[in-house]
Structure 1
């Protein structure tokens, strides 16, 4: 059965094809580690970890890149609030907490885990290419992308430039210098004392979106297969990434599949650091086993918004217990192909993980009722391995394997 996957570019489910046969180039937007990470981040990275694992199960070699945005307005603001504490210290402290959480959740380590500050030369080079090709302009040390020079701008979001102009845009800065309302910074002057790097346009630092374009191209090439991230990044961040990459390198499309995870809400309100309504994965894992939390996160479709409420994990306790008990009866039997096929068939249909877990639960119930053949429990185990459950024997940090 071919793998069919939804892409936000065109809003359609298409049969998955890669740029290079047998290889998947996958980039997922990482965190800006200016503060603690929360359950919404765990939701995103567990979902993309499962997708990465499924692609590997299909036989692809997956090169998975997840960046760290360690220079931006928030990082600078927190550094100031902490009396000029070095940004690298703030980054390393919060990044270590995130990595520990994801390790416990058995999320595979990225193939490459790049920091934006380690890619200033690539960012400057990409910016220079855009200027040379007529897609960017310089105004007193600031460099802006000229949105009017890219007719396909807005296609990812399915909106006209006029409609985009009415949306909230965190990259809309220094309007008095810009030619167009939607133009955005590639390189920016900085306030005295703020981090800065030398460039052809004077000392400064990168804009936000150019960082991901430069890192993706550096580590995956000018065309990639999957770009993941939260649905809140579709505009302006991912729209800008497309424009930058396709204009700088003359490729179309920059990315074949744009895969956006839903937002995790807390009792109906989007969970975010700015609102302070956070549930932390590490706090939940003091009460619940990490695989129990992983089950909760994967019980929602990747694209669906999820609404966390107190007791949400308790509602899955019986299913979690059934799955673990069935796996415990797998022994040395070969997986029943029909049962395993029922799970993986759901994954092949737009990566329906909740459907695959329902199939696994139904099979586990048969095992515990004594109605399942020996291979049924083994099939449950094999299917849960594909989805990264440590108790089923999936490789990963929770089982001592920290290789990418």
Structure 2
């Protein structure tokens, strides 16, 4: 039940609405039962470029999942399956271990807090400070390893997960890179959502890979519905995926800044046979697109989403309608405020900060430039 009352502040009257406890609209439940994963919105990105008639580009807003990324899907799915088989028991205090570039770790930390598990999360120094702080906020134990080390190094974050699970038999490893439940989660959830959300008109699916679960599981579902749907997996310059897919050769990885996509090894969760095209993108292209999306559309997305959208827009410019291109908006840009949306960091890395949208750097917008000289 709601009641109204009038409050007065120095000659200003304000009408406020109060909610009387015990009289609420809807059902009050715990956050564990309210935090719905999936069924994320499809948003129109077509205004970001001059596209041919009948060609549309949409984004699947995975940043609207509870922990801020698409990885909520696999963590929920894997935990549900382990609980179904009795491997995990809620509120038992069991320990789950995961190696992650940050988003899977955040999802696991969130679900562990909800379901009464302990979790130990391994990431590396490339991971943004915001993502690392998110893990601690959920009460997880965080282990930060070196970045850029060889895949066979004991300091490689994936090898740390393997070692910890081997040394502690009662601990459960999430094993997201090689776990078949990873692509299965997307086959069961994201694939059907894209098919239904576009009324079966989707012609191109764009998703960069790291574990490969998103693109592999979703591609499997979509190609079962329509084998002509094109699966596009953009890859950051420096990642080894392109050479493996295009030339069936393994190369040495090179350094790149975009987080959460690209890799230095080939995960078992990735099925490259589904991939029809693999355009390459630079860090600057990804980050500039993320910043453009924020300015133009009011959405904060991370660099992996920027890479996906950059590739989707460039692809869409070459198509003839009707065509529906859907790109994955993997995570929230608020996880990268100290990086992608920080001009000092961008400049220090040699990336441009003068976007085409007006050509004005973010740092130019100070309080004084807006006509205000004092802040009370």
Normalising by structure 2, we get a TM-score of 0.27
Higher relative contact order (CA 8 A, sep 6+): 1
- What's the TM-score, normalizing by structure 1? 0.26
Say which structure is richer in helix: 1
